Structure 1
Amino acid sequence: MAKRGINRLTARTVATAGVGYHCDGDSLYLQVTQGGDGSLNRSWLVRYATGEIKMSASGKSRRAERQMGLGPYPRVSLKEAREKAQEALRLTASGQDPVEAKRASKSSAALANAKAMSFAECAEAYIRSHEHGWRNDKHRAQSRNTLATYAHPAIGPLPVAGIDVGLVLKVLEPIWVSKPETASRLRGRIEAILDWARARGFREGENPARWRGHLDKLLPARSKIRRVEHHAALPYSAIPSFMGELHERDATAARALEFTILTAARTGEVIGVTWDEIDLRERVWTIPASRMKGGRQHRVPLSDAAITILETQAQRREGKFVFSGGNGRALSNMALLMLLRRMGLDVTAHGFRSSFRDWAGDCTHFPREVIEAALAHVVESKVEAAYRRSDAIEKRRKLMDAWARFCVEETQTGEQSL
């Protein structure tokens, strides 16, 4: 290595140095190159010997050399270049390679910056990466709104790597009893975001928002906080007389409610039904996956009574919707509820699904799997899953025909058979 001597560089010589390498001593060099436009570019580098041994053409062994850039002049001054060169030489004296140490330092800094991502930043990144798989805009809006309202004020600006049980409880405890449904969904969203952050390398360790075997030991179960409120339903024994009264009403909402009861469908599925979903020849209503709660296409076998309603609506057709609310729009989602209120009933349209389920369980011998498939419920058991894969539409057709016969009779005639 060159030793420092009387020929050390000065600021003046650096500024006027020509093309080539100019040694300052102690392995520091000024490299001057000429650009395409004729201008001169000056930068600093340090040369040092590595631990690798190389053989020369004459057979002599020598330690391999390596060089590392220290930055351009004048952004890096002569004084700064000398300090950087000395630091590099101290690393080589301790057995380290300055280039590799520099790379490791950059990697550590990048990792530290990544782990410094805030919870709010991770939440937004998580939503962006998953929202295209969510069924509707309402779900996206709810995810952002609940996080912005309840989580971000407490933990949003904090590094996601530092979110612990105490901070999660700080978010959840104020609303766990007063708003159990919201709190439960919020906990699930926080858990998902923290899982995403861990998978991306932004945090380590267990998920502090996990429920089973963790938060369930610290917070009361939602079922113990507030009794689950089911949709108010009409007893199935009252269905035939109610259907008779409903049939006397000449209104689109009445026909839609009749159709809802006969198909045991959800209110949203009925008010949104379009004519291209109906196959009168095959007597099937096919609800696309995009309109189903479970995100899977569902076929509904149509009874004679349901077909009669569709034929009636076809004579009044005003657009693409079977039950039109006027001006080419679907019927309002409040129309059925308001009709029930005008009829003096404190029940919901959705509650008729419960009426159907109770009737099917009490008055028929249809398998549970067929009944659950008719309701398009989420499949849990392997047996029910098998029915969903095979559709079981012919078995369900018999079930829905039996239900229609029960609904349109004035009095219950006893137990229905397969």
Structure 2
Amino acid sequence: MPKIATELSALQVKRIARPGLHAVGGVAGLMLQVSRTGSRSWILRAMVGGKRRDIGLGGAGVSLAEARQRAREARAEIWAGVDPVAERAARRRALTAAQAVPTFDECARLFLASKRSEFRSAKHAKQWTTTLAEYASPVFGKLPVSEVDLPHVLHALEPIWTTKTETASRLRGRIEAVLAWATVAKHRRGDNPARWKGHLDAVLPKPTKVRTVRHHRALPHQALPEFMADLRQREGAAARALEFAILTAARSGEVRGATWDEIDLKSNTWIIPSDRMKGGKEHRVPLTPAAVALLNAIPKRGQFVFAAPRDGQLSDMSLSAVLRRMNVDATVHGMRSTFRDWAGETTAFPRETIEHALAHRLKDRAEAAYARGSHFEKRRKLMEAWARYCAMPTAIGTVTEIGKLRKAQ
């Protein structure tokens, strides 16, 4: 049992200047340590596990009363069988480890940087960043990634699961991908709380059960020839871009981003690179004489085929504006549905040829494996038949000659 020293006052302690250890009393073993340079610190000398230990209680900034309180707490821990020094070291290691674990936001940034080359385009990469920043980051972005669990994921998903189902479904997959990366990088352990099968599917309704399918408004194919005759009377790059989009059954973004170096007039082919395609695969579009004539009539002024007034790319609303001015209740994308309806209802071209013309991936894997080619020559005949239909003077009383189309195939 340590000898109980005389309890010194704060003023008496302040006057101690001689280097060495000085008992200050109040708690057995409490010492003031004064160094040769005059620095001061508090030490508790006690027996821990049969060995004498000097336990640091703080420096000069710790008052005498606070030092005595810390000494009492340390002695209480020793009495309870705890080594204060070992416990303090363990807490320090745990704090250091917690600080070393990156947050979910940091992991998302690192994951996106590692996968950037896999994205179809800069726009696709931005969609990932925007979705995570808008819906996941406010909920658990600042949390260490090791702490992200089911309640956090549900908190982000549930508010939009039934109102923005497509966005929510993509968000879930993106959260799962970031957490999977963090697990591989050894920043977290255990199952992925954003996984669907056998986990979230038990607490959230299937997306297909709550998603509202929104179809793009399409022009009836019977009305298309009359519409095309009206469209050809319109001037401007947007009108020509819309006409070209219809003749090629292409998407608005593919047409607006078309550059002259993608056009091969020797083979009458438009080669759209993979990074501009929704499916991430190069698409070759056969150009009909009508499409080639349209291109030849356009003056070349810059890299874009359908250039905006200031030589940049047309905006995503420019083609829609043409339809509004023509008082047509349809969307640009809906014109692809018009083509699909015409081809499926009035021609004998194979379904896979029509789907390839639209740059659609076949859902049936067996069918997709069988139809490995792009049906390019069949597609050329299909698009020529489509161009002839678009050029008909009127849709009233028109009958498509299916027999001739069948012979052409």
**2:236 matched to 1:247?**
no
**2:326 matched to 1:343?**
yes
Measured after TM superposition, the shift of residue 109 of structure 1 is 7.2
Query: SS at 2:271's partner residue?
Result: strand
**2:113 matched to 1:121?**
no
**2:367 matched to 1:373?**
no
> Residues 403-414 of structure 1: matches in 2 within 5 Å?
403-410=386-393, 411=395, 412-414=398-400
Runs of 5+ consecutive residues of structure 1 not aligned to the other structure: 1-11, 13-78, 88-104
- CA 1:292–1:111 in 2, change beyond 3 Å: closer, same or farther? farther
Task: Measure, in 1, the Cα distance between the counterparts of 2:147 and 2:235.
Answer: 63
Task: Measure, in 2, the Cα distance between the counterparts of 1:164 and 1:111.
Answer: 22
Task: Measure, in 2, the Cα distance between the counterparts of 1:311 and 1:157.
Answer: 56
Conserved 8 A contact 1:379-1:385: no
Measured after TM superposition, the shift of residue 117 of structure 1 is 3.2
Conserved 8 A contact 1:318-1:326: no
Aligned match of 2:208 in 223, 227, 232? 223
- TM-score normalised to the size of structure 1? 0.69
Query: SS at 1:299's partner residue?
Result: strand
Conserved 8 A contact 1:259-1:306: yes
The residue number in structure 2 matching 1:137 is 122
> Residues 297-308 of structure 1: matches in 2 within 5 Å?
297-308=282-293
- Residue by residue over 1:167-202, the C-alpha shift from the partner in whole angstroms, topping out at 9 and shown as x without a partner, is 211121122223323322211111111111122222
Aligned match of 1:383 in 367, 379, 394? 367
Query: SS at 1:147's partner residue?
Result: helix
Query: SS at 1:345's partner residue?
Result: coil
Task: Measure, in 2, the Cα distance between the counterparts of 1:205 and 1:400.
Answer: 54
Task: Measure, in 2, the Cα distance between the counterparts of 1:196 and 1:346.
Answer: 46
Task: Measure, in 2, the Cα distance between the counterparts of 1:230 and 1:385.
Answer: 28
> Residues 94-173 of structure 1: matches in 2 within 5 Å?
112-113=97-98, 116-173=101-158
The residue number in structure 1 matching 2:27 is none
Task: Measure, in 1, the Cα distance between the counterparts of 2:99 and 2:381.
Answer: 59
The residue number in structure 1 matching 2:385 is 402
- CA 1:142–1:331 in 2, change beyond 3 Å: closer, same or farther? closer
The residue number in structure 2 matching 1:328 is 311
**2:190 matched to 1:205?**
yes
- CA 1:177–1:309 in 2, change beyond 3 Å: closer, same or farther? same
The size of the alignment, in residue pairs, is: 325
Question: Which structure has more strand as a fraction of its residues?
Answer: 1
Letter paired with 2:301: E
- Residue by residue over 1:335-366, the C-alpha shift from the partner in whole angstroms, topping out at 9 and shown as x without a partner, is 21001000001211111111111111111222
Measured after TM superposition, the shift of residue 298 of structure 1 is 0.9
Letter paired with 2:164: K
Conserved 8 A contact 2:166-2:211: no
> Residues 156-195 of structure 1: matches in 2 within 5 Å?
156-195=141-180
Aligned match of 1:296 in 272, 281, 288? 281
Letter paired with 1:305: A
Conserved 8 A contact 2:307-2:313: yes
- Residue by residue over 1:352-385, the C-alpha shift from the partner in whole angstroms, topping out at 9 and shown as x without a partner, is 1111111111112222221111111134424334
- CA 1:337–1:218 in 2, change beyond 3 Å: closer, same or farther? same
- CA 1:195–1:185 in 2, change beyond 3 Å: closer, same or farther? same
> Residues 17-36 of structure 1: matches in 2 within 5 Å?
none
Task: Measure, in 2, the Cα distance between the counterparts of 1:367 and 1:116.
Answer: 56
- Residue by residue over 1:101-153, the C-alpha shift from the partner in whole angstroms, topping out at 9 and shown as x without a partner, is xxxx9xx9799559843322222221221123323333333333332332223
Query: SS at 1:330's partner residue?
Result: coil
Runs of 5+ consecutive residues of structure 2 not aligned to the other structure: 1-18, 20-43, 53-89
Query: SS at 1:324's partner residue?
Result: coil
Query: SS at 1:286's partner residue?
Result: strand
- TM-score normalised to the size of structure 2? 0.71
Letter paired with 2:142: P
Query: SS at 1:173's partner residue?
Result: helix
Task: Measure, in 2, the Cα distance between the counterparts of 1:276 and 1:118.
Answer: 44
- CA 1:157–1:250 in 2, change beyond 3 Å: closer, same or farther? closer
Measured after TM superposition, the shift of residue 156 of structure 1 is 2.1
Conserved 8 A contact 2:336-2:358: yes
Task: Measure, in 2, the Cα distance between the counterparts of 1:110 and 1:398.
Answer: 70
Task: Measure, in 1, the Cα distance between the counterparts of 2:246 and 2:208.
Answer: 29
Task: Measure, in 1, the Cα distance between the counterparts of 2:261 and 2:110.
Answer: 38
Task: Measure, in 1, the Cα distance between the counterparts of 2:250 and 2:307.
Answer: 18
Measured after TM superposition, the shift of residue 261 of structure 1 is 0.5
- CA 1:155–1:250 in 2, change beyond 3 Å: closer, same or farther? closer
Task: Measure, in 2, the Cα distance between the counterparts of 1:283 and 1:173.
Answer: 50
Conserved 8 A contact 1:373-1:384: no
Alpha-carbon RMSD: 3.4
Single out whichever of 343-352 and 129-138 deviates more from structure 2: 129-138
Conserved 8 A contact 1:265-1:353: yes
Conserved 8 A contact 1:114-1:202: no
